[in-house]
Amino acid sequence: MTRAHAVAALAVAITFALLFSLGRPVVLRAQGVDVFLNVTGGGTKKLNIAVPEFTVVAGADTAGAGKQLAAVTGDDLTFSQLFAVVAGTGSIPANNPAALKQSWTDFAAAGAHAGLHGLLSFRGDRTEAEMRLYDLTTPEQRLIASKKFEMPAAQARRLAHKIADEIVLQFTGEPGVADTKVAYVSGKVGAKEILMSDYDGQSPTPVTRNGSINLMPMWSPDARSLAYTSFAQGYPDLYRAFPFERRAPQTLAAFIGINSSPGWSPDGKSLAMTLSKDGNPEIYVLTVATGTLKRLTRHAGIDTEPTWSPSGREIAFISDRGGPPHVFVMDAEGANVRPLTSGGRHTQPRWSPKGDVVVYTMRQGTHDIWAVNADGSNPRRLTQGPTDNQGSTWAPNGRHLMFQSNRSGTWQIYSMLADGSAQTPVTRGTLESTSPSWSPRLP
């Protein structure tokens, strides 16, 4: 293949990904190397990207950030399952086009299709990172895109996440999910607090510190707050924490009985929840600004775990009205209840951000994560024992899930692609980590 073809081929790969970001694998040939971007599943070929140490262009890198941020960006790109990080050894000197060109030439010879050059500027308590992304499949080493990000120095790690998300955007048309958080429950029997960390499990910080039992965190759609259930006042009540602000938790519901299982409406204005104040667990919707409460379900059985469709028009939930618990769907006003799943015991439904799929937990001796199309067709198993896998939460792009598994002997959080492949630990440690909630992209 000629070089001219190769130039076009990378452009085509990018364009195809932009045009068909929901499914089609793209197979092309560039310099005898397959350029293959498949944005939905795992197990396919990836785009090779070189990520050398970031170059310091202003200020002093006293903490080794050049090396660290390149590593984090590389890990983020690897996590996306779209890229393989290759060949990017060493650092590239500042303001030296010849050295840059030589590095790219070397990395391309070692198999890299693209190269990331990061440039760091330290300015007091702010750190700036510039991303320059190069196409290495052509001798021109074309600059595909560049972008600058700035953060307080203490949050420099987010610069790497933002660069990785931008690179994923450049190649797929949708940003990556590295600049996100995961909230989860950590602790032991009788003492459970909510923590949050970067999506990769790093930098854990407390969200609650009340010494009680805190359960089921759920990020609001603006990624500024978390709804959760806490026994802090003795009973299971619903609260909202503001983990980025100096602000006390807000009580959302503290009725007699259980107040639990928060599910945010896509616009963040309403919160579906389970209350048993009127006799048994039923689903209600709270309009957060006004405190208005509307009851949606009326059944003698258990109705709980509401999850909104991204359109806001429907709510999936579980009910044992037909025997063992199954997933049902109703209109957001509570009418037109119909079953989505049948057979088995199904809990923990979570509607995908794209609206096409609902994942849930199936119990068959142990628990595994399943998915079903939103029209009820094609129920399929995503995890395969032998221990329990449950409690899944979607990444904001609908490509990844996190869930909890006791495969290591204690409950920990893992991630996987939405087809069940590429399962990877997120949390490690001696304390249990359960009930993950993956945040939307941070503002």
Residues of span 208-267 touching other proteins by CB under 8 A: 213, 215-216, 222-225, 229, 231, 233-237, 242-247, 250-261
Considering the complex, what minimum distance in angstroms separates the CB of residue 398 from other proteins?
A: 22
Q: How many CA atoms lie within 13 A of 424 on its CB side?
A: 18
Of 75, 76, 128, 432, the one binding other proteins (CB under 8 A) is 128
Closer to other proteins by CB, 253 or 401: give it. 253
Decide: is 145 part of the binding site for other proteins (CB under 8 A): yes
Distances (CA, A) of 340 to 310, 326, 375, 416: 17, 8, 7, 24
> Which region, judged by CB under 8 A, interacts with other proteins, from 18-26, 68-76, 100-108, 350-358?
18-26
DSSP 153: G
- Segment contacting other proteins (CB under 8 A): 57-65, 87-95, 106-114, 271-279? 271-279
Q: What is the DSSP string of 74-141?
A: HHHHHHTTSEEE-S--SB--TT-HHHHHHHHHHHHHTT-SEEEEEEEEEETTEEEEEEEEEETTSTT-
Distance, CA of 287 to CA of 265 (rounded, Å)? 10
User: Which DSSP state fits 322?
Assistant: T
Minimum Å distance from CB 45 to other proteins? Answer: 15
- What does the alpha-carbon distance between residue 31 and residue 2 come to, in Å, rounded to a whole number? 8
**At which residue do the structure tokens 């953060």 appear?**
151
CA distance 278 to 287: 19
Using the rule CB under 8 A, give the single segment among 71-79, 90-98, 273-281, 373-381 that binds other proteins.
273-281
Q: Kindly state the smallest distance separating residue 235's Cβ from other proteins, in Å.
A: 6
The verdict on 152 binding other proteins (CB under 8 A) reads yes
Write down the least CB distance from residue 16 to other proteins, Å.
Answer: 6
Number of chain residues interacting with other proteins (CB under 8 A): 105
Identify whether the C-beta of residue 239 lies closer than 8 Å to the C-beta of residue 252.
Answer: yes
Is 75 a binding residue for other proteins by CB under 8 A? The answer is: no
Select the residue interacting with other proteins from 66, 175, 201, 281 (CB under 8 A).
281
**Cα Rg, the chain, nearest whole Å:** 23
| 279 counts as binding other proteins under rule CB under 8 A | yes
- Considering the rule CB under 8 A, would residue 348 count as an interface residue with other proteins? yes
By the rule CB under 8 A, 180 interacts with other proteins: no
Of 35-64, binders to other proteins (CB under 8 A) are: none
Judged by CB under 8 A, the stretch of 14-22, 69-77, 81-89, 100-108 that binds other proteins is: 14-22
Footprint (CB under 8 A) of other proteins, residues 183-212: 189-190, 192, 195, 202-206
Give the CA angle between residues 144, 147, 149 to the nearest 5°: 155
Site of tokens 């990836």: 46
Cα end-to-end span (Å), the chain:
44
**Residues present in the chain in total:** 443
Interacting residue with other proteins among 21, 276, 373, 410 (CB under 8 A)? 276
By CB under 8 A, residue 148 contacts other proteins: yes
Q: Which of residues 410-439 bind other proteins (CB under 8 A)?
A: 434-435
Query: Taking CB under 8 A as the rule, which mask of x and - marks residues 108-127 in contact with other proteins?
Result: ------------------x-
Residue type, 409: G
Q: Does 15 bind other proteins (CB under 8 A)?
A: yes
Strands 345-351 and 357-364: antiparallel
